[in-house]
Structure 1
Amino acid sequence: MNIARLRSKRVIVSTVAVVAALGIGGGVWATAAGADVGQAERDRAGTAAVQAVGGGTVVDVEGDDEDGAAFEVEVRKDDGTEVDVALDKNFAVLTQETDTPGTDEDPDGTGADGTDAGDRALTGAERTSAEQAAIAAVGAGSTVLSVEASDGTGDDAGVAYEADVRDSAGAEWDVALDASFKVLTKTEDR
């Protein structure tokens, strides 16, 4: 699988549809879906992948055309490991590949996308608070595309959360938040 391509774009999967399909109480998030993958397909692919790996959070969903696969789904399990699941057009699992920091797939422990191995999944409360703060910063009618924890070091000193937000006019913004969800910076992507 092309992991770099899999992690290239970020889009939110409809939490309500996935939660309803899985029958769980937490939010399930996805990123990365090309224009060739519709919302219903993203939801079904995410649900199938989460069930296949025994639970977790959908991180990426993307169309695929390698080795008979129709979809590639990345799932982050509660222990932090990430599993890449290839599905056919009927949402049947073709392969599962675990990316664990410090392994052959990720020998330097930085994560397949170059992120720190210390990156962690957000709790539902953290995600909700960060989303609310980011939407308030960008304005009504905006949509959160992704929210991540930040290590708060280097150029990100003091930053606890980073959100990508699309405003009502279609412009995308990077919003940096501190640990109390106070907006530190808001920068338009150009």
Structure 2
Amino acid sequence: MNIARLRSKRVIVSTVAVVAALGIGGGVWATAAGADVGSGERDRAGTAAVQAVGGGTVVDVEAGDDDGEAYEVEIRKDDGTEVDVTLDENFAVVTQEPEAAETEDGETEDGETGGTEAGDRALTDAERTSAEQAAIAAVGAGSTILSLEASDGTGDDAGVAYEADVRDSAGAEWDVDLDAAFKVLTKTEDR
């Protein structure tokens, strides 16, 4: 029996239990973040970004790739909109801006309005909850929603109302398409 591994598991489980009992980050994390950021840094960056935007859920935390930016954090606010927050090495906000919407050709146009896809609309809480539950059930217990958006249901996506990206418990990522009644239409592993 590997005692060191067993002790490590006890520390992790104990830490998670303490965090849950204290309500730290209550519902703040939607998914695991990039492997290039340690868990302590990830927690601090996520907490700082959520406070900066006035609440929401951390979708992703990555190491910054520009000078003066140590962390890039994506936050999903309660209304479904997303905000990108960059932080310096002291977890101070460098920039904070709404995520740019995609136009019909898939390009982003910062600062311009109009021409957005139906998938850019904010989901209601009921839609988000039902779609997340259906996508997780399709992929399996222990899976995590990486992203979820409405679909315009046209072209190649005929009949698709919601598109979810899900990471399973083994780390594989899946694309799950749902209809308006949250029935799984397709489930495809990303390769």
Looking at structure 2, the residues matched to 89 and 116 of structure 1 have their Cα atoms a distance apart, in angstroms, of 36
Question: Quick one: distance in 2 between partners of 1:141 and 1:32?
Answer: 12
105, 108, 112: which is aligned to 2:110?
A: 105
Distance 2:74 2:142 in 1: 28
TM-score (norm 1): 0.67
SS, match of residue 186 in structure 2:
strand
SS in 2 for 1:51: helix
For the residues of structure 2 that align with 1:80 and 1:132, how far apart are their CA atoms?
A: 17
Q: State how far apart, in whole Å, the 1-side matches of 2:97 and 2:186 are.
A: 37
CA shift, 1:98, in A, is 4.2
Unaligned runs of 5+ in 2: 1-15
- In structure 2, relative to structure 1, the CA distance for the partners of 1:122 and 1:59 (3 Å cut) is farther
Q: Deviations over 1:145-170 (max 9, x none)?
A: 33222222221122121122233444
User: Which residue type is aligned with residue 20 of structure 1?
Assistant: G
Trace 1:1-190 onto structure 2 (pairs within 5 A): 20-21=23-24, 27-28=27-28, 30=30, 33-77=33-77, 82-99=82-99, 105-107=110-112, 109=114, 116=117, 119-190=120-191
Q: In structure 1, list runs of 5 or more residues that go unmatched.
A: 1-13
Q: How high is the sequence identity, in percent, across the aligned residues?
A: 80
Letter in 2 for 1:72: E
- The secondary structure found in structure 2 opposite 1:69 is coil
Question: Which letter does structure 1 place at the counterpart of 2:23?
Answer: A
Question: Given the superposition, is the C-alpha separation of residues 34 and 167 from structure 1 closer, same or farther in structure 2, using an over 3 Å criterion?
Answer: closer
* Equivalent pairs, count: 168
Which structure would you say has the larger Rg?
Answer: 2
For the aligned residue pairs, the C-alpha RMSD in angstroms reads 3.5
Structure 1 residues 123 and 90, CA gap change in structure 2 (3 angstroms) = farther
Contact 1:32-1:62 within 8 A present in 2 as well: no
Residues 84 and 99 of structure 1 are in contact (CA less than 8 Å); yes or no, is this contact kept in structure 2? yes
2-side partners of 1:169 and 1:60: how far apart? 18
The 1:83/1:135 distance shift into structure 2, 3 A limit, reads: closer
Shift of 1:44: 2.2
Partners of 1:75 and 1:83 within 8 A in 2: yes
In 2: Cα distance, 1:39 partner to 1:123 partner? 30
Q: Is the 8 A contact 2:69 2:94 kept in 1?
A: yes
* Contact 2:177 2:185 survives alignment (8 Å): yes
Q: TM-score, normalised by structure 2?
A: 0.66
Query: Cα gap change, 1:104/1:181 in structure 2, threshold over 3 Å: closer, same or farther?
Result: closer
